[in-house]
Structure 1
């Protein structure tokens, strides 16, 4: 999947909160089925970022950062 630093900040533009969630996704038009990209989110922005990815059919899973093996 890719490395995500333990002190990662939320992927929401302008947010500097610590990330507590890993949103694992891929764009099937661009990526092979096994390729995974990761956005990280704080508690406040998890739903927003997940909704953005889900609307496009990109979201594969949401994992707490303490259980994410990236």
Structure 2
């Protein structure tokens, strides 16, 4: 996609959100940072859950 199309989509989406939901996207860079932060937090939570469940299941097999 070219930069003009992305800017036009951003502008259209911002106007739509502002008109319908009173939400505006201030800056595409801010949106990318928030999305990356959210994705990082979700991945970290999944990794912690994975580590906890591995420890739980591996301890059950050790005690024979």
TM-score, L = length of structure 1: 0.30
User: Which structure is higher in RCO with an 8 Å CA cutoff and minimum separation 6?
Assistant: 1
**Which has more strand, going by share of residues?**
1
* Superposition TM-score, scaled by structure 2 size: 0.32
**Higher radius of gyration, 1 or 2:** 2
Q: Which has the higher helix share?
A: 2
